Amino acid sequence: MAITTDKKSNMKILVACEYSGRVRDAFLALGHDAMSCDLLPTETEGPHHMGDVLELLHMGWDLMIAHPPCTHLAVSGSRWFKDKVKEQAEALIFVQTLMDAPINRIALENPISVISSRIRKPDQIVQPWQFGHGETKATCLWLKNLPKLTPTNIVGGREAVVHRMPPGPDRWKNRSRTYQGVANAMAAQWSNLQ
């Protein structure tokens, strides 16, 4: 697959492990050439590659924002770590491969996880309430050649609403969509950097 653009100032952006389309659409709205990639189909219409993101890393992107699965990495599930040593090792290799991708600017996002102890500490931890959503969900960012995100709209409300979502087959999906305010901040603050 070739990635082409007519407008030279546009950035070519890969949003790895995204089915919601939220970060992709925030960059598209600013006129950039953004594409999401996930093993799942995209929930909203837009440029999307359904498949393994590892096949796309060498395609000349200016920026990658990656949301790798946290299932075997998040410390909230640490009581299960002893039963999934192999899965965790594979998940860490996936994260390290994304971090090492030949792309000039990279942001990798995950909750509080063993990435911090096994690979390196995050550059920043953000909360949805810093970006217009009155909820708590500590989100770590590992950054390469990117500035830390500046909060855009600090609001009240400090409830961990995601943890009270009803059980069901879509619970994990509803918990893991990137907050729109965070997606908008990424697009606004990580576009056209010098």
- 94-133 residues in contact with ligand SAM (CB under 6 A) are none
Alpha-carbon distances, residue 78 vs 21, 74, 156, 161, 173 (angstroms): 29, 7, 30, 21, 20
CA angle 128, 187, 62 (to 5 degrees): 130
Three-class SS state of 24: helix
CB 52 within 8 A of CB 68: no
Q: Rank residues 163 and 192 by Cβ distance to ligand SAM and give the closer one.
A: 163
**Under rule CB under 6 A, residue 69 binds ligand SAM:** yes
**Under rule CB under 6 A, residue 88 binds ligand SAM:** no
What is the smallest separation between the CB atom of 125 and ligand SAM, expressed in angstroms?
16
CB 105 within 8 A of CB 144: yes
Alpha-carbon distances, residue 95 vs 2, 15, 151 (angstroms): 25, 14, 26
Q: Rank residues 53 and 186 by Cβ distance to ligand SAM and give the closer one.
A: 53
What is the smallest separation between the CB atom of 61 and ligand SAM, expressed in angstroms?
14
Q: Rank residues 53 and 185 by Cβ distance to ligand SAM and give the closer one.
A: 53
Q: Which of 3, 29, 40, 93 binds ligand SAM (CB under 6 A)?
A: 40
Q: Rank residues 41 and 156 by Cβ distance to ligand SAM and give the closer one.
A: 41
Binding window for ligand SAM (CB under 6 A); candidates: 50-58, 74-82, 126-134, 154-162 = 50-58
Alpha-carbon distances, residue 49 vs 4, 58, 83, 105, 175 (angstroms): 15, 14, 33, 20, 22
Query: Which stretches of the chain bind ligand SAM, using CB under 6 A?
Result: 17-20, 22, 37-40, 52-54, 67, 69-70, 176-178
